[in-house]
A and B are shown apart, each in its own frame.
Chain A
Amino acid sequence: MPERSKPSLQSKHSSHFARIERARRKPGRVQGPCVDLAHGGGGKAMRDLIDDVIVSAFGTDRQSLQDDQARIALAPLMATGDRLAFTTDSYVVTPLFFPGSDIGKLAVNGTVNDLAVSGAKPMYLSCGLVIEEGLSLEILRRVVGSMAEAAQAAGVTIVTGDTKVVPRGQCDQLFINTAGIGVIPTERNPHAQGILPGDVLLVNGTLGDHAAAILLARGELQLESAITSDCAALHGLIDSVCGEVDVHAMRDITRGGLSAVLNELAMASEVGLVVDETALPVRADVRGLCELLGFDPVHMANEGKLVMAVAAADAQRALALMRAHPLGQDSAIIGVARDNLPGMVTLQTALGERILDMLVGEPVPRIC
């Protein structure tokens, strides 16, 4: 029998090395119940967090992580349109989870909507996370999972990102920033200065749902209701209208509510806008909450609503297209543009007409 050769010292070492190297290259796994400062330190713990929680959820191509930036081919973009739309938004909502949505879904849909109201087809998002140390991993996984789900539903890809962990008290659990890129098809050009006297204003549904849902989710009012946030990505609805109708101006109605958006549009287009208060779609329970607290649905935030201006001749067609979409069933014509009182928004109430200005700060309940 030939003498069994002993493995040389060198080959023994190299098999150890190979094993260790294989292990080093395996996707990392996070240990422990919550995020700590090490996860933001730029070292192994951070890579574990990104591998385990973020990359796995977003389905990012692992090879692309080796570079510090996403690389996007121009040719397919140029085939879609002639202008890039680029936007960013930060999300700091409390609580992180609320009826109908959560901060993750909001961070995707909010940026998708900011792109879509330019007429753009949203394509790529970034995801910046600022995490307060101590945030439970379970919460982080839920939020990131929700982002992945929303991105998939909206047909956008999250292609780049950043993660920071800050000491306790320096942020409130979790802040998210998303930036987004979309491409605007050549024939579309809704813009803030685009409203002409005679144009008709439309919204795609009930106002104030998101703000009401958040207010109730905070639990300070000790009220119960079935109100859920309207958080949704609107590019599908926008596509269905823009495909057939020339939209002069379009905005998503978020913080500041309808009043803020309309005042900005009226000033940019130098037209007067007259809104019919009785035509504004508002859920009965949201109206009830507003009556109780002295709020006004026109000042309240939404996350799945938009207002658009179209020529009067196109208004009924636009309304029908919006109503045919699942996110536009309660769409309504709410007002018109005129050349009188340029820059000013007025509200025709059931009885008389008055100015509809922006709020100064956040809505606060009146005491009596």
Chain B
Amino acid sequence: MKHVDEFRDKALGERLFARIAALVPRAQRRLGRLPVSRGGQPIKLMEVCGGHTHTIFKYGLVGLLPEDLELVHGPGCPVCVLPIGRVDMAIELARMPGAVLCTFGDALRVPGSELSLLQVKAQGADVRTVYSPADALTFAQHHPEREVIFFGLGFETTAPSTALVVREARALGVPNFSVFSNHITIMPTLRALLESPELSLDGFVGPGHVSMVIGEAPYAPVAEQYGKPLVIAGFEPLDVLQAIVMLLEQLAQGEARIDNQYSRVVPPAGSLLAQAALREVFEPRASFEWRGLGSIPSSGLQLRAAFAQFDAERRFQLHEAQVPDPKACECGKILAGVLQPWDCKVFGTACTPQTPIGACMVSSEGACAAYYNYGRLTTLRQKRSSTRA
């Protein structure tokens, strides 16, 4: 555990907080903004990945940042952005006679239009939690009489393992195994955010695990085309703080580049093997629906025609059901950094981790769930200080 503890060190953390406090006013001056206390706008940095959101809240970092720096919690939580229609499709698969739906545990509670997988399981559908798609394939081999469907979820982080298992299923000839792919890719989503007219972000804490697969190059347009800095970061609290320092340094210098804070894990070129597996098995869909963000072109991955027999959507002739997000939900604006969770009317009342309405409340990595579970303290303090002021 020594390796982990080094990245949670209190003294080093305090030095990074001090550095952040010193850099924020310099970055604000460079961006030509007044401090918040004089009616200006804070610097807004988005951590794209849900893993970062989790770290920021789990270690209570938000309360220690200056008021002129705001962290916006991005869409990089694959469970949260799974739209209602796709959950309904998974439920339809799980309810087929003889079917076994294998899923990662955190997808169980995602609400569909009426039920979640957990509720469908309680009603008798065979839904099983697995830790890897390989477990689902092994189960299929041992139970040739059952149709075993793996609920494929996640960005480029988890998609390669699904690709490898699909390849293996073909090599071994496992006829009763298929994948319901909901895999998504990060860059089209970042582009959609960057092109949003409401965008007010100054830089990005870039995803660590995704970058381990795709490397640094795909992010180039963020800096070159949109003029925003992005720093790929690890998931320990000091990783996130250091990435924030690196972003502020760029902003203070008036620069925008792609930097890599997480070089101990992320090679500049990523993983060539994983990229090859992704290319071989998957191709981009024309567009894919995101909870809270709507339809984003080329953001979803589907199995290529050569693997059609392992594609649950083709095999069971599923039809995509598009179900609109609940009206009261402000997830789209929260994911884009326009609103904060407590600006939403249903936050913490109708919408809680027990009864999530919107995407951001579903998984512990979602912005609203993180605020609800860990961050109410910060919100309380902010509210108290604002009433005092």
Which A residues fall within an 8 A CB radius of B? 220-221, 284, 287-288, 291, 296, 341, 344, 346-355, 357, 360-361, 364-368
Kindly supply a per-residue 1/0 record for chain B positions 116-157, scoring 1 wherever the CB is within 8 Å of any chain A CB and 0 otherwise: 001000000000011100010000000000000000011101
Q: Mark B77-112, 1 if CB is under 8 A from A, else 0.
A: 011000000000000000000000000111111000
**A189 to B294 Cα, complex, angstroms:** 58
Q: Is the CB of A354 within 8 A of B106?
A: no
- Cβ contacts A to B, 20 pairs, < 8 Å: A220-B130, A288-B1, A341-B380, A349-B8, A350-B237, A351-B59, A352-B64, A353-B60, A354-B59, A354-B378, A355-B375, A357-B372, A357-B373, A360-B109, A364-B108, A365-B104, A367-B78, A367-B104, A367-B154, A367-B158
CB of B383 to closest CB in A, whole Å = 13
Q: A354-B57, A361-B109 are in contact. Are A366 and B64 (CB under 8 A)?
A: no
| A354 touching B377, Cβ below 8 Å | yes
A368 to B158, Cβ gap below 8 A? Answer: yes
Whether A367 and B106, one on each chain, are in contact in the complex, defined by CB atoms closer than 8 angstroms, is yes
Interface centre among A348, A353, A355, A360 (most CB of B within 10 A): A355
Instruction: List 14 additional A-B contacts (Cβ < 8 Å) besides A291-B4, A354-B58, A367-B107.
Output: A220-B130, A220-B135, A351-B8, A351-B13, A352-B63, A353-B63, A354-B59, A354-B375, A360-B109, A364-B104, A365-B104, A367-B78, A367-B104, A368-B209
Contact A366 B54 (CB under 8 A): yes
B27-67 vs A, CB cutoff 8 Å, 1 = contact: the mask equals 00000000000000000000001110010011111111000
B106 touches A364 (CB 8 A): yes
Could you tell me which B residues sit within 8 Å of A by CB distance?
A: 1, 4, 8-10, 13, 49-51, 54, 57-64, 78-79, 104-109, 118, 129-131, 135, 153-155, 157-158, 209, 237, 353-354, 363-365, 372-378, 380
- Decide if A360 touches B354 in the complex (CB within 8 Å): yes
Across-interface contacts of B376 in A (CB, < 8 A): 355
- How far is A291 from B235 in the complex, measured between Cα atoms in Å? 11
Query: Which 10 A-B pairs give the minimum distances between C-beta atoms?
Result: A352-B60, A364-B105, A354-B60, A354-B374, A367-B104, A368-B157, A351-B13, A349-B59, A350-B8, A351-B59
Give CA–CA (A287, B130) in the complex, Å: 21
Contact, CB under 8 Å: B353 / A360: yes
Dominant secondary structure at the A interface: loop
Q: How far is the CA of A368 from the CA of B373 in the complex (A)?
A: 19
Nearest CB of A to B198, in Å: 27
CA A364 to CA B104, docked complex, whole Å: 8
> Which of chain B's residues have a CB closer than 8 A to the CB of A365?
104-106, 131
Bound-state Cα–Cα, A360 to B365, Å: 14
User: CB within 8 A of A350: which of B59, B118, B131, B157?
Assistant: B59
Report the separation of the CA atoms of residues A325 and B224 in the bound assembly, to the nearest whole angstrom: 65
Known: A360-B354, A366-B54, A368-B50. A352 touches B61 (CB 8 A): yes
Q: Which of B13, B154, B237, B377 contacts A346 (CB 8 A)?
A: B377
Q: A341: which B residues are within 8 A, CB to CB?
A: 377, 380
B154 in contact with A350 (CB, 8 Å): no
Given contacts A350-B9, A354-B59, contact A220 B131 (CB under 8 A): yes
Nearest A residue to B63, CB-CB: A352
Neighbouring A residues of B354 by C-beta, 8 Å: 360
Report the separation of the CA atoms of residues A288 and B60 in the bound assembly, to the nearest whole angstrom: 21
Task: Give complex CA distance A111, B26 in Å.
Answer: 62
| Residue of chain B at shortest CB distance from A285 | B1
Chain B residues near A353 (CB-CB < 8 A): 60, 63, 377
Kindly list chain A residues whose C-beta atoms are within 8 Å of the C-beta of B61: 351-352
Known: A350-B59, A351-B59, A360-B109. A366 touches B374 (CB 8 A): no
Chain B hits for A221, CB < 8 A = 131
CB distance from B28 to the nearest CB of A (A): 23
Q: A220 — which chain B residues lie within 8 A by C-beta?
A: 130-131, 135
CB distance from B159 to the nearest CB of A (A): 11
Find out whether the CB atom of A367 lies under 8 angstroms from the CB atom of B79: yes
Residues of B within 8 Å of A291, CB to CB, are 1, 4
Nearest residue (CB) in B for A220 is B131
Residues of chain A lying within 8 A (CB to CB) of residue B131: 220-221, 365
Given contacts A350-B10, A368-B155, contact A355 B373 (CB under 8 A): yes
In the docked arrangement, what's the CA distance between A220 and B135, Å?
Answer: 9
Residue of A288, A350, A351, A360 most packed against chain B (CB within 10 A): A351
B153 engages A367 (CB within 8 Å):
yes
A368–B187 Cα gap in the complex (Å)?
A: 17
Contact between A349 and B60, CB atoms less than 8 A apart: yes
List of A residues within 8 angstroms of B109 by Cβ: 360-361
B377 closest partner in A (C-beta): A355
Chain A residues lying within 8 Å of B373, measured Cβ to Cβ, are 355, 357
| A220-B131, A221-B131, A284-B1 known; A352 vs B106 contact (CB < 8 Å) | no
Given A365-B106, A368-B154: A350 in contact with B1 (beta carbons within 8 A): no
Q: Please give, as numbers and ranges, the residues of chain A lying within 8 Å of B364 by CB-CB distance.
A: 366
- Provide the residues of chain B in CB contact with A284, threshold 8 Å: 1
Distance in angstroms between the alpha carbons of A368 and B48 in the assembled complex: 13
Q: How far does the Cβ of A317 sit from chain B's closest Cβ, in whole Å?
A: 30
